[in-house]
Amino acid sequence: MITLALSKGRIFEETLPLLAAAGIEVLEDPEKSRKLILPTNRADVRVVLVRASDVPTYVQFGGADIGVAGKDVLIEHGGEGLYQPLDLKIAKCHVSVAVPAGFDYAYAVRQGARLRVATKYTAIAREFFAQKGVHVDLVKLYGSMELAPLTGMADAIVDLVSTGNTLRANNLVEVERIMEISSQLVVNQAALRLKQAQLRPLIDVFAQASPKN
Ligand code: AMP
């Protein structure tokens, strides 16, 4: 049995064509079903639905053999115990710094101001501002980062940006791009050895079927 860990939403949707290329069809729609384990048309393949930030943990500890996780999530997790053979080039977005429309970020940075930054991505943000030599106090949040500057709780946020619509809707502007993000295939290191005959062909098909840029 091969267990694949996916998160609902963009990653699930954009992984479906890769599974289809391998002849795998998920038999239930996660938006309609409340099941956490979804069967596929192959008796030896199943999908488990977990939070995006839990995918690396499930794969690391063998709850799943393989998974699809964003680079953002992998950096925050640390990648320990995971084999990362493939950039799937799906669910693309970037990690950016954003501030309220009226806030002069460049000036604040030039002045050496100490910034309070709200984010779920504390490892990425810490590394980025340390490299820049900007002093920051990081406030860890688990969602709705956009709200932090609007309520005066933070000067800036570090968050994922795709179309920019969420920032615009909340009167925030992107002032710096920290890194490009796409989803990676992650594999449990022991499973890769023990289930090589099933996993290798799957990894090869994903490599061929994933978008080319
Ligand atoms: P957008 O409005 O298209 O810029 O999307 C921004 C919102 O979607 C933010 O709340 C992000 O956290 C979330 N988001 C964007 N891209 C991704 C992604 N690839 N994976 C997970 N969340 C994302």
Regarding whether 164 and 103 lie in a shared domain, the answer is yes
Q: Which two tokens stand for residue 10?
A: 């963009």
Regarding whether 74 and 52 lie in a shared domain, the answer is yes
Regarding whether 167 and 104 lie in a shared domain, the answer is yes
Regarding whether 53 and 97 lie in a shared domain, the answer is no
pLDDT at 212: 85
Regarding whether 154 and 109 lie in a shared domain, the answer is yes
Model confidence pTM above 0.85? yes
What percentage of the chain exceeds 70 in pLDDT? 100
Regarding whether 175 and 104 lie in a shared domain, the answer is yes
Q: In this structure, are residues 130 and 110 in contact, taking their beta carbons and an 8 Å threshold? A: no
Amino acid at residue number 108: A
User: How many structural domains compose the chain?
Assistant: 2
Q: In this structure, are residues 109 and 125 in contact, taking their beta carbons and an 8 Å threshold? A: no
Q: What is the biggest distance separating any 2 CA atoms in the chain, rounded to whole angstroms?
A: 61
Residue 66, domain extent = 2-91+182-209
Regarding whether 86 and 25 lie in a shared domain, the answer is yes
Rounded distance from Cα 141 to ligand 1 centre (Å): 15
Regarding whether 198 and 169 lie in a shared domain, the answer is no
User: What is the Cα–Cα distance from 117 to 148, expressed in whole angstroms?
Assistant: 9
- State the average pLDDT over residues 62-73: 98
- State the average pLDDT over residues 21-34: 96
- State the average pLDDT over residues 125-150: 97
CATH of the domain at 98: 3.40.190.10
Regarding whether 174 and 199 lie in a shared domain, the answer is no
Average pLDDT in the chain: 97
**Ligand 1, atom 23: closest residue by C-alpha:** 160
**Ligand 1, atom 18: closest residue by C-alpha:** 91
Regarding whether 112 and 63 lie in a shared domain, the answer is no
Rounded distance from Cα 191 to ligand 1 centre (Å): 31
pLDDT at 31: 94
**Ligand 1, atom 6: closest residue by C-alpha:** 161
Is the predicted pLDDT of residue 213 greater than 90, yes or no?
Answer: no
Rounded distance from Cα 162 to ligand 1 centre (Å): 5
Give the pocket of ligand 1 (CB within 6 Å): 10, 70, 91, 93, 159-166
Q: In this structure, are residues 129 and 117 in contact, taking their beta carbons and an 8 Å threshold? A: yes
Regarding whether 59 and 28 lie in a shared domain, the answer is yes
Closest ligand 1 atom to Cα of 169: 2
pLDDT at 170: 98
In tens, the pLDDT along 91-111 reads 999 999 999 999 999 999 999
- State the average pLDDT over residues 130-142: 97
Regarding whether 172 and 98 lie in a shared domain, the answer is yes
In tens, the pLDDT along 17-27 reads 999 999 999 99
In tens, the pLDDT along 175-212 reads 999 999 999 999 999 999 999 999 999 999 999 999 98
In tens, the pLDDT along 105-129 reads 999 999 999 999 999 999 999 999 9
pLDDT at 69: 98
Rounded distance from Cα 190 to ligand 1 centre (Å): 32
